[in-house]
Amino acid sequence: MANQEENLKNIIGHAKEYGFVFPSSEIYDGLSAAYDYGPLGSELKNNIKQYWWKAMVQMHENIVGIDASIFMHPTTWKASGHTDAFNDPLIDNKDSKKRYRADVLVEDWVVKIEAKINKEVTKAAKRFGEAFNEAEFRATNPRVTANQEKIDSAENRFKTAMDADNLEDVRQLIVDLEIADPVSGSRNWTDVRQFNLMFSTEMGAMADGASTIYLRPETAQGIFVNFLNVQKTSRLKIPFGIAQIGKAFRNEIIARQFIFRMREFEQMEMQFFVRPGEEMKWYEYWKEARMEWHLALGIPEEKYKFHDHLKMAHYANAATDIEFDFPFGFKELEGIHSRTDFDLKQHEKHSGKKLQYFDPELNESYVPYVIETSIGLDRMFLAILSNSIKNEQLEDGSSRVVMRIPNFLAPCKAAIMPLTKKDGLPEKAREILKTLQMDFNCQYDEKDSIGKRYRRQDAIGTPISITVDHDSLEDNSVTIRDRDTMQQERVAIADLSSILFNKLKLK
């Protein structure tokens, strides 16, 4: 745990030092759960967006993109269920005056009991060595089974209470589990109440009769309400998809873990409209396709896992999360949901407009079913950041910090460096910069020794450094250095463009 915190602290420090992510409005001591992306961060973020857009929209004939507004008619949120049910159960500690999510208190309690179980398992594994059968031990050891029963019973009770909206019993569960305020240790709890996560604001001047509107808590509804506009104008035939990248806002109660859980964040969502009855086929297709998208980045497979939902929202008939091994353990990175025809039907009901598709092959109209893929851009950014920062010991005894970002996502693709600041080398280097700038985001760097400059570029993940020396003036060649192997090679300036294309392309 201490290691995890240390690791996350290092990532946050690195992100700030090199201009990837800053706390929002830092000169005023920041705003909790809001962050600003700096010069390199905004480049990396844009590159992730492009990778998603290319894979989801441009490489699929039957998927198109939109860019809907953040403000939507308030009835949208009534129809989608967000006005009535997008809530978190909250509880306050009367002594510390701190506020908590009741479900998180219970979850943290479960993690503690699980840790006890794992301790027993580790101890037994040591004792029995090779002969240890973990599954059998978990099923038969009395201390383990007793703790597992405690967990199952608490989880069941919590679920039943939440399903029945019985907030009194949620509070009683917290009392019965003897959960204490993590800060003060006090068990003096208030009642539990529901708190809606949508941010609201007023549209129009008061005198004109301003109305309450919401900052969208997901981008998906902008797609649903545009379903017919897009289908008709793009003449799309089912199955087809509509994709969108954009900001979403949630008044998260517990916002921690850096950019993992923010109050303002970005989503990349795609709704895939299919024939009723064919949704499971497409659900499986998108599960696989989305995992392939992640693995194509070259991040090790063991960093990802599916977490299938056993219990689902009332409108879904299948749901899974792609979890990533973040610095604080496996957590949701992306959701893939089979949402049935719930959203479109709700919008039909509340708008009074038909949201149907005429299927010429079946010669009938129906409300399509929907498979949704939804990934948080900021979480993807954190996944890449946390996976790529490495502290490496080198053969000569020195060390370096390097960001092994997949080349095609790297914020800066090449650094162009004159060996010295004189003898016409800067001019030659800038000439090269000009020829590469149109196609690649490059940096010009002439300060400090060449070794220091290499380290600086390693630390921001620049895949290629190009050094211009005195020979370059004579023979029009330069030295290129590879970030990962640190190998150097002499190449013709005329070949630089094609070398970079080859090294940076997404295969």
Residues that bind ligand GAP (CB under 6 A): 218, 220, 250, 252, 261-262, 265, 267, 269, 332-335, 372, 374-376, 378-379
Structure tokens at 500: 């970079």
Sheet holding 304-308, edge to edge: 63-66, 240-249, 264-274, 369-376, 329-338, 318-326, 304-308
Whole-number minimum distance, CB 388 to ligand GAP, in Å?
A: 19
**409 contacts 44 by C-beta, under 8 angstroms:** yes
Nearer of residues 374 and 465 to ligand GAP, judged by Cβ = 374
User: Using CA of residue 42, residue 65, residue 75, residue 335, what is the dihedral sign?
Assistant: negative
Nearer of residues 261 and 294 to ligand GAP, judged by Cβ = 261
Write out the DSSP string of 378-443: HHHHHHHHHHHEEEEE-TTS-EEEEE---GGG-S--EEEEESSSSTTHHHHHHHHHHHHHTTS-EE
Nearer of residues 53 and 137 to ligand GAP, judged by Cβ = 53
Nearer of residues 290 and 379 to ligand GAP, judged by Cβ = 379
Whole-number minimum distance, CB 355 to ligand GAP, in Å?
A: 18
- Residue 189 pairs in a beta bridge with 93
Nearer of residues 334 and 445 to ligand GAP, judged by Cβ = 334
**260 contacts 379 by C-beta, under 8 angstroms:** yes
Whole-number minimum distance, CB 333 to ligand GAP, in Å?
A: 6
Cis peptide before 239, with omega less than 30 degrees from 0? yes
Whole-number minimum distance, CB 378 to ligand GAP, in Å?
A: 5
For residue 225, give the H/E element and its range. none
- Residue 402 pairs in a beta bridge with 390
Whole-number minimum distance, CB 88 to ligand GAP, in Å?
A: 11
Which residue's C-beta sits nearest to ligand GAP? Answer: 376
Taken as a whole, the chain contains a residue count of: 507
Whole-number minimum distance, CB 335 to ligand GAP, in Å?
A: 4
The rounded distance, in Å, linking the Cα atoms of 413 and 464 is 7
Whole-number minimum distance, CB 269 to ligand GAP, in Å?
A: 6
The rounded distance, in Å, linking the Cα atoms of 155 and 111 is 12
Rounded (5°) CA angle 71-76-82:
100
Whole-number minimum distance, CB 285 to ligand GAP, in Å?
A: 18
Nearer of residues 169 and 323 to ligand GAP, judged by Cβ = 323
CA atoms within 13 A on the CB side of 437: 9
Residues in CB range of 66: below 8 A, 6 or more apart: 222, 223, 226, 230, 242, 243, 244
Whole-number minimum distance, CB 326 to ligand GAP, in Å?
A: 11
The rounded distance, in Å, linking the Cα atoms of 59 and 102 is 43
Whole-number minimum distance, CB 321 to ligand GAP, in Å?
A: 7
The rounded distance, in Å, linking the Cα atoms of 426 and 252 is 50
